[in-house]
Amino acid sequence: MKRNLRSAAMACLLLPLSLYAQTDIDNEITVTDNDGNEETIELPEAMTHDLDSLMNLYLSKKYLTEDEDCQMKDVNPYFGKEVYVDRLSRIPGIIEMPYNEVVQKFIDRYSGRLRHSVSYMLGASNFYMPIFEQALETYQLPLELKYLPVIESALNPTAVSRVGATGLWQFMLTTGKMYGLNVNTLVDERRDPIKSSYAAARYLKDLYKVFGDWNLVIAAYNCGPENINKAIKRSNGEKDYWKIYPYLPKETRGYVPAFIAANYIMTYYCEHNICPMNTTLPEKTDTVMVGRNLHMEQVAAVCGLEMEQLRTLNPAYRHDVIPGATELACLRLPQAEIGRFLENEDSIYLYKTDSLLARRATVAVSETAYNVGKSTKRTRSSRSRGRTVTIRKGQTLSEIARQNGTTVSKLRRLNGIKGNNIRAGKKLRVR
């Protein structure tokens, strides 16, 4: 690392970072074609993420530290076009990675304004790249695709886009479910690095069966196969990404260039004086199967673990509840803690069960409320049956009571009458 940094420094003209790539705003870049026409391209959302938010992730805080020995970490060398063309051509892989001004702009963004984010991603790649590579290798896909999550999520496993795409691979809800990722109120497997990586590999393989071109596959991963088919149709059947480019959604126009730039910067970071953050690999983990509902706080309290650590190891559980009662569920723990969990399993399940997992299976209706309801019903019913008559000339209370099946005393009570005097033409309640 240090040898490469020194040779780069000696061989290249050095420019301060503050003078490099400062003409673009935070969420887009501007490119100029050969005719002098300017085009604005949206950045993939992950290229706008705040480094501070990434460094607040548990893995970052616990296992990543800045390289204090890094030389010239804020100095980005200048290279001519032919250098970039040559370097891109030497990246080992089968996915075409050509050079043009759009690609250059994205390389400039990564090597300039986002260089500290690249430093984070180089460090975090030690956590995630082995998982990505294994999933891609399982489905016999190009390993260059391991850098898709760099532009999808900036290697943030909890990333959620403005349209709801979630996790390292940024699965939308419907696509995630289509590829076997369970999503409900308690579980979101789009956030699980392992399960989502295998789902992404299957999805990419299916897209390649449709398009037969990796650049179109990468574009389709971003905007969906329907939009790629529309662009192909509008371009009179062209199936070259760079020929259908003008007909693609605005963000997708920058997606393949960003992918090429991500491969470039993750390969040639040394030449740009970018040092990976120092990484201490987390302790090894293992899993236990849970057959009952379990709250992570129960595990943390009895086993003496941090809640933040448990959440990081089990990112698919959205509300700290492992729904083992629904079906057997997987709980990932530090390997050294597996024995402690098994030894204390009964105590773990009993710890604060009533407060942490308070979901009543049955409830009794309050008798007071029931009786009040019945009383109210009787009162309303009685009122609904109330009846009045009009007193005719010469009628007496006795006669009216006899005609309506009641008594004089009841008539007096219902109508507030004292004595026997009543007046013809007035209304008299009889019920």
31 sits in which H/E element? strand 28-32
**Which has the closest alpha carbon to 43: 238, 262, 199, 215?**
262
If you average pLDDT over residues 227-238, what whole number do you get?
96
**In which band, very low, low, confident or very high, does the pLDDT at 374 lie, cut at 50, 70 and 90?**
low
In terms of Cβ atoms closer than 10 Å to its own Cβ (0-12, 13-18, 19+), residue 317 is buried
Mean pLDDT score across all residues of the chain: 88
Catalytic residue ranges: 152
Residues in the chain: 431
- Is the pLDDT assigned to residue 376 strictly greater than 80? no
If you average pLDDT over residues 384-398, what whole number do you get?
81
* Percent of the chain residues topping a pLDDT of 70: 89
Q: Are 275 and 1 in contact (CB under 8 A)?
A: yes
* Alpha-carbon distances of 122 from 148, 150, 179, 269, 352, rounded to whole Å: 14, 10, 28, 9, 41
Predicted pLDDT at 63: 95
Contacts of 130 (CB under 8 A, 6+ apart): none
- Is the pLDDT assigned to residue 335 strictly greater than 70? yes
If you average pLDDT over residues 294-317, what whole number do you get?
96
pLDDT digits (tens, 9 = 90+) for 125-143: 999 999 999 999 999 999 9
pLDDT digits (tens, 9 = 90+) for 15-47: 333 333 333 447 888 887 767 778 888 889 999
10 or 71: which leads in pLDDT: 71
Pairing outcome for strands 278-279 and 38-42: unpaired
Q: Are 122 and 149 in contact (CB under 8 A)?
A: no
Q: Are 331 and 288 in contact (CB under 8 A)?
A: yes
If you average pLDDT over residues 281-307, what whole number do you get?
95
Predicted pLDDT at 283: 87
For 33-172, strand residue ranges (E) read 38-42, 64-65, 75-78
**In which band, very low, low, confident or very high, does the pLDDT at 8 lie, cut at 50, 70 and 90?**
very low
pTM over 0.95: no
Task: Calculate Rg over the CA atoms of the chain.
Answer: 36
Distance CA 179, CA 313 (A): 22
Distance CA 260, CA 276 (A): 19
